[in-house]
Amino acid sequence: MTAEVEARGRILAVARRLFFAHGFGRVTMDEIASELAMSKKTLYRHFASKEELCEAVIDAVFIAIDAALAAVLDDASLGFEDKLERFMRIVAGGYEEARGPLLTDLQRDAPSLWARVDQWRSKVVHTRSRALFSAGKRAGVFRPDVPEDFIVRIAINNVQNILRPDVLAALGMSFPEGFAHCKALLLDGIRARPHPSRSL
């Protein structure tokens, strides 16, 4: 690992911790440089602005989540129910980390960075969830008559329009509570099992 790559990694780790703990608005490049025992000149050589640094943090977070989801989906040693549980835990864990002031700050004060979050969420949810639902249908866990793309659009809608700081605040829910409700409503509706009325 080169010194440049190592320095960039240290910067991203510290910035990630500070942004998630205190939000975007309250964290300054001075504080990040001080935390790193690094000059501002060196910090700005790696990242030209706080916005650029936060964007790099967002990218790193979602790349890691995407890789973790891909690893679960590709693990041939896991049965489908185990894959589903681990998949949901990874998604929930990612949002649990981000449930502090950062997303609220970005949504309110940094529309370009908030758009970046939304783009990543849509990409990760669409690509990985479609693969998950396809695997579930092949395993006979999910109903074969519901198209994967339809399910994915519902999942994306949940993420973009329900699991948002402002919406959850209006509902009086934490992210884990909102996520649990979305998960239950979605999965219970697409599981392959007889409808009660059909047994009468």
**Domain with 105 in it: what CATH number?**
1.10.357
Count structural domains, the chain.
1
**pLDDT of 67:** 95
**pLDDT of 169:** 87
Confidence label for 121 from pLDDT (cuts 50, 70 and 90): confident
Structural contact between residues 121 and 160, judged by C-beta atoms closer than 8 angstroms: yes
Judged against a pLDDT cut of 80, whether residue 198 lies above it is answered with no
Judged on CB neighbours under 10 Å (0-12, 13-18, 19+), 41 is exposed
In a domain, 4, yes or no: no
In a domain, 112, yes or no: yes
In a domain, 170, yes or no: yes
In a domain, 45, yes or no: no
Judged against a pLDDT cut of 80, whether residue 159 lies above it is answered with no
In a domain, 129, yes or no: yes
CA triple 182-184-187, angle to 5 deg: 100
Q: Which range (54-68, 149-163, 169-183) has the least confidence?
A: 149-163
Q: Which range (72-86, 110-124, 148-162) has the least confidence?
A: 148-162
In a domain, 8, yes or no: no
What is the domain extent for residue 149? 60-199
- SS3 labels along 58-122: HHHHHHHHHHHHHHHHHCCCCCHHHHHHHHHHHHHHHHHHCCCHHHHHHHHHCHHHHHHHHHHHH
In a domain, 31, yes or no: no
